[in-house]
Structure 1
């Protein structure tokens, strides 16, 4: 179980390194409205991810009785992860978004939760990512039910903790969020995602 937890934490660290709309939302929310508001955004993101975990895990499990499904799942999940990696490798320099949330200065914590939940939930790549994770978990024959829970807890708790950390040190972190920084971070994340994808395809072939 400890091994599954550590593997989940490593995947959570990788997921947390991705640069996207959620990242900028957390940073801007903390800078403009304070840590508590940004923390509610992070909770909304966590709930959204948790919902996707339930949907993808049990959805994959339901289909597992189909013939050759495991191999197909491995190939599809691997291709999705490799696609993620390639998209990050070819991604152009991210541009810091304009302050579009200034008009929401009177928003309450409920609005912050909804913002985090919706920004994360409406992104189709988030769903695809969790589908690939469910594929990886299903193909790990060494995982029992406790290992699966430990793996997902490792991912979700790591992502949530780092989201809170990003919000807490937003003013210090903001000075490092430059186009050059994001460019190289995207390359590193892209290579890592391709590595996970190839590993998943390898499991499917085994």
Structure 2
């Protein structure tokens, strides 16, 4: 069991630093809205990951093949990210939006959880990632449910703890934020989401480009 934990920790650490929309929005939320807001947002992301892991566990390699033949799922997720990114870019693009936001209220936390969940959930690539992990790691764990639970629990905890350090570091930037800098950060996040959306849409129009996730996971795990 200790070997399973040791194998899961670096994967969780790497997962936390995978560059994507969630990565940048988490840092932005921490820098602008504070530690609690970012923590709540991250919990929504983790809930989506747990759901994906559950789906992946009760699925099979055949589902991975089916997803590769459903480019519309990538296009759908990409369009949502694209629209969301455009909205953020123009909504926070005016000088009127450069005021430093007030601290998040408890009533905002539910919205942050939903935001984190949806931002992660609409990216079908995340499900593909977890399917790949199950396919590669499962046999090495002898497909034993108890070992698989330990492995993925450790991986998620490692991911979450690493995110806590990221949130704390990003929070230190809050003291240096001015209205103009906040506006630029939000515009930058909008651009990143737009780019991620376009990448997903392009992926959807390239159905013959099969997933290479198994080889990637092999390179970083065993």
Displacement of 1:167: 1.2
Is 1:108 equivalent to 2:108 in the alignment? yes
Asked if 1 retains the 8 angstrom alpha-carbon contact of 2:31 and 2:170, the reply is: yes
Asked if 2 retains the 8 angstrom alpha-carbon contact of 1:26 and 1:41, the reply is: yes
1:24-103 equivalence runs, <5 A: 24-60=24-60
| Deviation sequence 1:141-168 (CA, Å, 0-9, x none) | 5453221111101111111111222112
Judging changes above 3 Å, is the alpha-carbon distance between structure 1 residues 98 and 169 closer, same or farther for their aligned structure 2 residues?
A: farther
Is 1:13 equivalent to 2:7 in the alignment? no
Displacement of 1:127: 0.9
| Deviation sequence 1:57-102 (CA, Å, 0-9, x none) | 0112xx7xxxxx7xxx8xx7xx9xxxxxxxxxxxxxxxxx969677
1:108 partner SS: helix
Specify every segment of 5 or more residues in structure 1 that has no aligned partner in the other structure, as ranges.
64-68, 80-96, 176-191
Q: Give the match for residue 217 of structure 2.
A: 196
Q: Find the aligned partners of 1:199 and 1:9 in 2 and give their Cα distance.
A: 11
TM-score using structure 2 length: 0.58
Q: Find the aligned partners of 1:45 and 1:199 in 2 and give their Cα distance.
A: 22
Q: Find the aligned partners of 1:199 and 1:34 in 2 and give their Cα distance.
A: 32
2:19 partner SS: coil
- 104-113 or 20-29, larger mean C-alpha shift: 104-113
TM-score using structure 1 length: 0.63
Is 1:118 equivalent to 2:118 in the alignment? yes
Judging changes above 3 Å, is the alpha-carbon distance between structure 1 residues 43 and 100 closer, same or farther for their aligned structure 2 residues?
A: farther
Two-structure CA RMSD over aligned residues (Å): 3.6
Q: Find the aligned partners of 1:151 and 1:8 in 2 and give their Cα distance.
A: 6
Q: Find the aligned partners of 1:199 and 1:167 in 2 and give their Cα distance.
A: 24
Asked if 2 retains the 8 angstrom alpha-carbon contact of 1:27 and 1:166, the reply is: yes
Q: Give the match for residue 180 of structure 1.
A: none
